[in-house]
Amino acid sequence: MVDLVQQYQSIREEVKASFDRILDNAQFINGPDVHEFANSLANYLGAKHVIPCANGTDALQIAMMALDLKPGDEVITPSFTYIATTEVVGLLRLKPVFVDVNPKTFNMEPSAIKKAITAKTKAIVPVHLYGQSCDMDAIWKIAKEYDLYIIEDNAQAIGSDYTTKSGKVMKTGTIGHIGCTSFFPSKNLGCYGDGGAISTNDDKLADKMRMIASHGQSKRYYHDLVGCNSRLDTLQAAVLNAKLKRLDSYIQARREAAKVYDDAFAAIKEIITPFRDPKSTHVFHQYTLQLADGVNRDEMVNYLAEQAIPSMIYYPVPAHKQKMFKTLETSCGDLSVTDDLTKRVISLPMHTELDSEQQTYIINHVKKFIQNG
Ligand SMILES: *Cc1c(COP(=O)(O)O)cnc(C)c1O
């Protein structure tokens, strides 16, 4: 699905030089590269504060811990997402309220959010799935009306631009109160291990989240809050410094590959190619197709695998059907689109190193399968 070996070749010298320097100085924790990265990412995003942490799941957890929520308070999330988004809600003994997504964009449906609101609702977690922003104007309107926090799960969409109805262009992850992202190796901005970050423009929340990520410390050995231990290590920050400079060109390569797939599949009625929301740019963390009724997805995955073509189902089981929530209090609206999409979606290889020969091979086999069944 991704080719990190090939991508490494283009940044190898830079990364190795940084690693040598860090190892020679034993600056493993909170080294200068971490601060440099936090500043560069804040600049790139146009966010006032960036707090690096250990992974994207921690980023979501720290964000939710900062909101002073009580057990049983409700957090509205999509069910059609990676489990981390909803898992942290359960972990903190908050109540996940699952809402449906839009069948074209795969993102949370604002009208479904509105229906799910109760007196206990405290936050909305929009997930910018596959690399395209949720309808943030509509989500903000609801959040203002009901006085709710917005925590964006930006793990898949870093670098995406959203144009608000007043014409302002903002990076995803900076539109809500807090944005959370992941640097898992296969993410669009990935390191060589685990990593994550939180962004916000709110000074108070930033201070609090910084404390939570560091054992609730206000100063060394003075612990004011129950927090956790969540750091981005210096070696990972060095990788991210090398890659952040190249993020826009990485995104460009993904967009070009997406266009090649789009054109190739445009005339095939059994395949729906990814919809482009005019309010958001797409950074194609995933290139995800919807298959029409009658196309056997399991057989397609097997057929492609036999041709040495990887494909993935993101996600085969939506959160509301996961066993982990059986013993927790949750609430679900109508999730028929989610249930339907989990049966139809299939993601094809998408990364910065896809060349036209590989894509032609993938495309030809997808077409062959669709034509011959
Ligand atoms: C990857 C991902 C996460 C979690 O990130 P980790 O760094 O693996 O903890 C959360 N939400 C979404 C939507 C993701 O894709």
pLDDT of residue 120 exceeding 80, the answer is yes
For residue 248, report the distance from its CA to the centre of ligand 1, in Å.
20
Same domain for 132 and 196: yes
User: Whose CA is closest to atom 3 on ligand 1?
Assistant: 56
Give the residue numbers spanning the domain of 188. 4-244
Same domain for 260 and 180: no
For residue 365, report the distance from its CA to the centre of ligand 1, in Å.
30
pLDDT of residue 333 exceeding 90, the answer is no
67-108 pLDDT, tens digit per residue, is 999 999 999 999 999 999 999 999 999 999 999 999 999 999
CATH number, domain containing residue 147 = 3.40.640.10
- Where do the DSSP E strands lie in the chain? 49-53, 74-78, 95-99, 121-124, 149-153, 161-163, 169-171, 178-182, 196-200, 217-219, 222-223, 271-272, 287-291, 331-332, 345-348
Same domain for 200 and 118: yes
For residue 216, report the distance from its CA to the centre of ligand 1, in Å.
23
What mean pLDDT is predicted for residues 176-204? Answer: 98
For residue 221, report the distance from its CA to the centre of ligand 1, in Å.
31
User: Whose CA is closest to atom 2 on ligand 1?
Assistant: 155
Phi, psi values for residue 72, rounded to 5°? 95, -15
What mean pLDDT is predicted for residues 208-231? Answer: 96
CATH number, domain containing residue 339 = 3.90.1150.10
Domain count of the fold of the chain: 2
58, 82, 180: residue to mutate for ligand 1 pocket, most atoms within 8 A of CB: 82
User: Could you identify the atom of ligand 1 that is nearest to the CA of residue 58?
Assistant: 9
User: Could you identify the atom of ligand 1 that is nearest to the CA of residue 59?
Assistant: 9
Same domain for 79 and 195: yes
What Å distances lie between residue 55 and 47, 88, 98, 101, 216, CA to CA? 19, 13, 23, 25, 18
User: Could you identify the atom of ligand 1 that is nearest to the CA of residue 57?
Assistant: 9
User: Could you identify the atom of ligand 1 that is nearest to the CA of residue 183?
Assistant: 7
Please say which residue of 206, 228, 244 terminates a domain: 244
Same domain for 336 and 355: yes
Amino acid making up residue 23? L
Same domain for 252 and 157: no
Same domain for 143 and 34: yes
Same domain for 229 and 179: yes
Same domain for 313 and 177: no
1, 83, 184, 191: residue to mutate for ligand 1 pocket, most atoms within 8 A of CB: 184
Q: Which residues line ligand 1 (CB under 6 A)?
A: 55-57, 81-82, 84-85, 127, 153, 155-156, 182, 184, 194, 196
pLDDT class of 207 with cuts at 50, 70, 90: very high
Instruction: Say how many CA atoms lie within 13 Å of 216 toward its Cβ.
Output: 9
Instruction: Tokens for 365, please give them.
Output: 């086999």
23-64 pLDDT, tens digit per residue, is 999 999 999 999 999 999 999 999 999 999 999 999 999 999
Please say which residue of 244, 278, 303 terminates a domain: 244
53, 88, 151, 153: residue to mutate for ligand 1 pocket, most atoms within 8 A of CB: 153
